[in-house]
Structure 1
Amino acid sequence: MDIKTTARNRGKMQRVLFSGSIRHQLAWSFGGVALVMMIGLAGLLFELQRNFLYSAAMQQSKSLTTSLANSSSSWVLANDIAGLKEVLQGFVDLPDLERAYILSLSGEVLSSSRPDEAGLFVTDAQNQKLLSAPPQTQVLLANTRQIDVAAPVMAGLRHVGWARIEMTMNGVNANLRSVVTMGVNFIVFAALTVLTAAILLARRLTRRLHHLMRVAAEVEKGSLNVRAHISGNDEVGILAHGFNQMLDALCNSERQRERINHLYAAWTQSADIIVRESDEVKLLNEVCRIIADHVAFKLVWVGMLEPDGWVRTVAASHPDSPLLLNIKVSVDEILPEGRGPMGTAIREGIPKIFNNFLNEPSTKPWQPLAAAENINASAAFPLMRGGHCIGAIAVYSAEQDYFTPDLIDLMRGLTEDLSYALDNFDREKLRLKAEHELRIAAAAFESQEGILVTDADNNILRVNKSFTQLTGYSADEVIGKSAGILKSGRQVPEFYASMWESINRDKYWQGEIWNKRKNGNIYPEWLCITAITNPEGAVTNYVGTFTDISQRKADEERIKDLAYYDSLTKLPNRTLLFDRLNLALNASNRNKTHGALMFLDLDNFKTLNDTLGHDRGDQLLIEVGRRLQSCVREVDTVARLGGDEFVVMLECLDEQEIEAAVQAHTVAEKIRSNLAEFYLLKSNIDNKLQPFVEHYSTGSIGFVLFLGHETSSEELLKRADLAMYQAKQAGRNVIRAFIPEMQEALNLRASLETDLRNALDRNELSLHYQVQVDTSGRPVGAEALIRWNQAERGMISPAEFIPLAEETGLILSIGYWILKQGCETLVDWAKHPETRELKLAVNISSRQLSQADFVERVGAMLAETGANPALLKLEITESVILDNVDDTIAKMHAVRDLGVNFSMDDFGTGYSSLSYLQKLPLEQLKIDQSFVRNMAFNNHDSAIIRTILALGKNLDINVIAEGVETTIQRELLTRYGCQKFQGYLFGRPVPADAFKQSLLVGQEKKTSMHNALDGVQ
């Protein structure tokens, strides 16, 4: 067929389709367009589905590889091939799995889904590249046929191997073929439907289309405010709605373009002012005015940060604005005035945008003023000076959502130009200062100070007479040489790097430096270096002036010793003590940790002076100072105030006041004990050595805690002194705390210990029981939890007395009492049908398990009470096992032989090792409530829970979750495969009678429900 024939046929087809009635034209046009759209949509959906399936396949491969790596870490570390094989067995049945294997870092296939590959060493280029890759997930191959992913096997932070999974894309490609088939069917159906609808609605469409044509003609003439008034949800209505939206977008785009153009104009004009204006305040005011005039902002103002943290207004477009006159801004985020755009921008050094100013909680202090001036949006942009944020420029608009990314970028550029201008003002001031100093240096060139002038490369051009006198070099010996000829070598390179950094930045440096004379002597000097610049800002010369400060430093050291140290003991005196105490108060305020100040007075020191002489009294004071220093850390301070009075300052104690008091009291007790040991004193009188004298002395100690600047240094010393006098009055050789509440707390702790020792005899301890259920809510067991109802104090939390029991060893008697009570409870439960099958969990402490006769005592209690050992479950923590792994495992197996089960409490919070976990005779793992609490919101916690459940399944250990408080937590745990639960959702810990009653009530409810269902049937 020739070209002419083809053209004639195409013309005939066009006349048939488009020269008939409007109904036919619309029908064929809509049908054709719909067909194209449907084909395009189907293609798009196919592309999206393909991308989704490929992405999902990639994500699945990564997740599987990561899961394989995580599950294999302990086995790889232990080189347990059997364990690795068992781990890989869980991946063999995965659909589309081509191959999965574990590689060691040496390239050995430790385990593989293909058994014949195990033990081989990989030699292919891809695996060799993987072995040298960093320890992170690697995608080795990804195409339409196959995905190959490798993940590092990590043991903590240690890289021990690679896990690799190859997946085929057969399943994905099959899904895509199904999508294509459905798409073709959809296109055919949709095209027929659209064609039918087009024929039926042709008349209605043509009537409203003419209206659209008139609107389009108006738009063509340049009128963007005209709109199509066509309602309905059909295609024409939607087209009219879309047409109107397009016009709205055009209008909005035009407004945005005008705003950008206006801001560009303001930026351009501001840049011109920045170049010409030499007065900083005038420049800032002019820029504010220009921005407000061009962009029609309601207000533009510049605020500078004051030393007290408040922001001062320095320039504004409308100085008489009520908002500006009444505004108060801080950079302290604690204050309400510090949370607005200006304060936040200065504090954080980044722009802050509030496009809904009147509804932002942080702008509440200014909202009434803003509403009165019709301000609905605000933005603040930081101003930098010398690399530091020193203020900001704030702009306010009447239009909500005014600040778009384009406007923000333009304002950011404008403020960067302003910051550059502020830096220029500073550079100009420094240049003028340098010129002035150069003139002064020239006038004083022949002063008593040594002076040298170098070029920009630090080569000496000129020296004065004092220079030659101080250094020993003549002018001819140094001119033309580098100033480095004077270096002593005593300072490290970092010192000179810092010095030149200051010179290059500030054009000036002064400080103490060690230099060398011609004869090789090293001496200290005070050196000032000034950089001289030309009008372009380039350095042309350096001027150095220096003086020999050898004598001054020697005098300073002597004065320092006299001013800050006690001449007898060489300990810090009162002055240095107060200096360090003020520093300690600052550190305490910053770190929120307590410190302590101790005042110590030797008992009966005057008697020693009167009987054995002042010489031996001085020896005692010196020895006391040594013993005090041996009792404290290097960070602490020991000072002598005079006579027999000493002060000890302890820093960095606990954040909690009571614990800090205990720590201070412990140190004080150590000091008291050391001072009470005998002293050997000797005296040298008339050059004759006297025999040694054995002397005993004690000290009375008072101490006070401090936290930050709550109390002044002088007041702290007074309080410590007062506490010391209280110690004296209490009989000497005593320790007293100043704050009555602290002393009371120490007494309370001792009283609590005494009461705890008597709690068993007084029957004040009891057990409460918290139910454990399965997925159906049926009770399967309970945990025994101790409670202490003290006669005078009432209920005392286990968090208070259990740690005290651990410290004092009372946990042994309490623990065995709990175990015996638990056994007796099982005996009682065996008598009732609702409880006879329940297991009871009893907590065991590390001290109990470390006892040599632990196994015998457990067996004796079972025999004594007649409890069924199969229903007794002993709960231990991971830390208990870590104390003595081999001994603990042996005892656990011995107890297991008695028929008693073990559960690991708080699993996942310690440092369990899978190498010994599998050796433990565990029946149950308990997921710690800290993971359960946030599992719905924390992916890490949920991942840990899933890992524990998988571990339990692989080790054939059942898993229970504690701390379940919501139905969401229960549903997630059930979905992850957890079979048992414990928490407030199912019941709080209650006494034994209440526990049995709750089980009876639950049983009656179930029985009633079953009867009701039977009646319905």
Structure 2
Amino acid sequence: MAIAGLVLVLLVAVMVLYSSNRQLRSQGNRLAAGESRQRAVFAALGEGVYGTNADFECTFVNPAALKMLGFTQEEVIGRDPHTLFHYQCADGQPCAREESSVFQTVRDGRTRHEEGWLLRKDGTGFPADMIVTPMVEAGHVTGAVVAFSDISERKAAEAQLRQLSLAVDQSPESIVITDLDGRIKYVNQACVNKSGYSRVELLGANPRVFQSGRTPPETYRKMWDTVTSGQIWRGELINRNKHGHEYTELATLAPVRDHNGRISHFLALKQDISELKHAEAEVHRLANYDRLTELPNRSLLMDRLAQTLASSSRHPQRSALILCNIDRFKILNEARGQASGDLLLKAVARRLDTLVRESDTVARLGADEFAILLQNLDPEQGSASRSAFSVAEKIHLALRHPFTLDQDVVNITASIGITLWPEDAVPRIGSNASARDTPQEILRRADTALHKAKRAGGNQSAFFEAGMGEVAQLRFHLERELREGIPAGQLRLFLQPQVDAEGQIVGFEALVRWQHPGRGLLLPNAFIPVAEESDLIVEIGVWVLTETCELIAREKARGRPLRIAVNISPRHFKEAHFVPWVRDLIAATGIDGHSLTMEVTEGLMIDNFDDVIARMSALQELGIHFSVDDFGTGYSSLSYLKRLPIHELKIDKGFIQDAPTDPEDAALVETILNVAKDLGLTVVAEGVETAEQAAFLNSRARAVHQGHFYGRPEPAEAWLERTATLSSMRVTAD
């Protein structure tokens, strides 16, 4: 109860007592009426009140006090309240009567307000807020009146508030509270430590004090528009501390409402993700840039090719890809040593980079092969061809100038292959004339032209001729045959084992093959690209997932539990009814969702991130695990990767194959292993084909291995017959 309330109770009690005493002395015949009024007033009070005389005997007590203490009036009147209620000090320790506030008040006539501890008749106690005032008549203290209230709930709330305050102040995340005008009202210790400012400097300041100037203004506008409208905002902020050091924070801002539901403050929780951003940048660099030349690598080139294709579908312009291969580089490298070869490659990279526009891309694809992406050439095919050929001639001319390598002079020539797209007539804006062009197809055409130049003796350029591109017609027929083959039952389910470091099978990956009636058994790379360009990829996904669940159910019935990973295409995953369909499939087959792992690519995370999380979370509730396939080759942000409900990362086989001998791939694999460890994720390494690759992985982390070294993909039934007792099966290398 508030102090003012106790004071009011005490004043009422004293007034009643004085009034009763005057009535008793002057109007004896009205004794009964006075006592009646006294009892009525005391009975109406919700706080406990009792009084003592100068001998410390209880002279009156109200019903509220008796109820709180558990005594009857007969047990209290005439007794010493100190011995009856067993006063204890505020710290809960017993104190003598001479230390009690009643004793001291009667002795010196001073009113006291304090917290104490009262014991009930049953031996239980409670904290009490007490005001003790002296009763004075004719200048002499004749007793004391005590008003008290049970403050157990307040004490519990205060303890809870203290715990909450400690938790907030000791939170590792920075916490800031501002008023509606943006003035800082509270910061916790983590914010003080991170910002470098003291609490005195921050309180009353504007959060702009944290800004580095590198966060886009649009981010702040969207942030404040969101929170002032009563919604929660999440995003990244690049901030700077008092000493000028920049750091990136993942911030959550939320409005705080008062008891009337009106926004009264804003709350910000900020987590420093600088290390994750650094790791993300390092993964991106290792995945997208060549370590030796610092040029974009194959992965980034393919990404930019995809972007150029998307742009060319909207704008009537042609683009070109040039592949440049140093003639007889292997001979030079063996004769002068790898160090000289590396110096030459770096010098060639610098020279090529000076020959193109800022909008173009020079990339190193590997060994002695470079690529030049020329974007937005003339819409007319002849003019675009001449522009590409002109760049090729500049390359020949630039490379004819000798290179000086550690005082050695080297002369080189190069073979060049060129391809343009779109191949046919200039597309209209919004048309689909270049739909058959893909990054892989464009690179293949340029490589074909390059080999044509090499076969002609090198030191020359060759264009990819339209007659060499019969693949387009082949794909057309292949799509039609695949569309007929799926319902005809021509697909086959294959399995490839996944093993731990000791070679113990821990699961399988489901793979699909096409038993073509004319071409025989086709591998996925022969038909999956065609399926991905049409709706057939969804039909294949439905077939594979259904076959896998039925297989798991059959083996479960035989007492042989399986864990199988299945690739899920982004198009299939984003189907409106994908989650309900999976839920119905699991229910129909009766399998445990924990036996199923869905492999998704990083490209799935690019659009509608919150929707992807919601779908993955719904499937996770069924027990399904998620694996990010081909990790390191896509776009995912590590700061958001930690928000995804995933269980494992799958390293692309392209990084595993050369990891034992290529420092660049080794560094990338080690970075991914460290990121996975920090995020508590399992790592699956695919493409393990040699003992050296397996040893490389085992020496750095406990990863799951998958590859020909442990087992090739085989028909599902063949693998299951071979592994009759999976729990004790230990595979050996092929």
TM range (shorter): 0.3 to 0.5
Q: TM-score w.r.t. structure 1 length? A: 0.31
Larger fraction in helix: 1
Q: TM-score w.r.t. structure 2 length? A: 0.42
